[in-house]
Amino acid sequence: MVIKVDVTHISDDLKFAIQDAIKRNSVSDSQDNDHVSKYRRIILYDENNRQKVKQLLEDILRKNQFDDYIVVDNIEEEDEIAILRKDDLEQLGIFICLHCGTLFASEDERTIHQRMHYFI
């Protein structure tokens, strides 16, 4: 399985920190993970543990004090994880529940979902 990490919306400093951590932690057995494709994606070959990759990315963000970024699943491509600035999410059509972090494709879906938190 292949997991892609979309680094389109992040700084070069963060991109290099991610690449370095992937090499150090050997998330994937592939030797070809130190490049970013022309589409600005880090491609992890032979990686099947999506949660492990997401956890590593979240740890990198926390360790390097990139508090204004968030790791999210791409709702359009199943094999892709994106790193986005928290402020940019809604502009990209991604709406996140402030209570649990669930992603939604519209503000209406998120609002309905968030109301359920108040009933529980």
Q: Which amino acid is at 13?
A: D
Residue 70 and residue 105 in one domain: no
Q: Determine if the pTM surpasses 0.75.
A: no
How far apart, in whole angstroms, are the C-alpha atoms of residue 120 and residue 114?
11
* Domain assignment of residue 116, given as a range: 91-120
103 and 66 in a common domain: no
Q: Tens-of-pLDDT digits for all 120 residues of the chain?
A: 788 888 888 888 888 888 888 788 765 544 444 445 555 788 888 778 888 888 989 999 999 898 888 888 877 788 889 888 877 778 778 888 888 878 888 999 999 999 999 886
Nearest to 58 by CA among 29, 16, 104, 18: 18
CATH, residue 113: 3.30.160
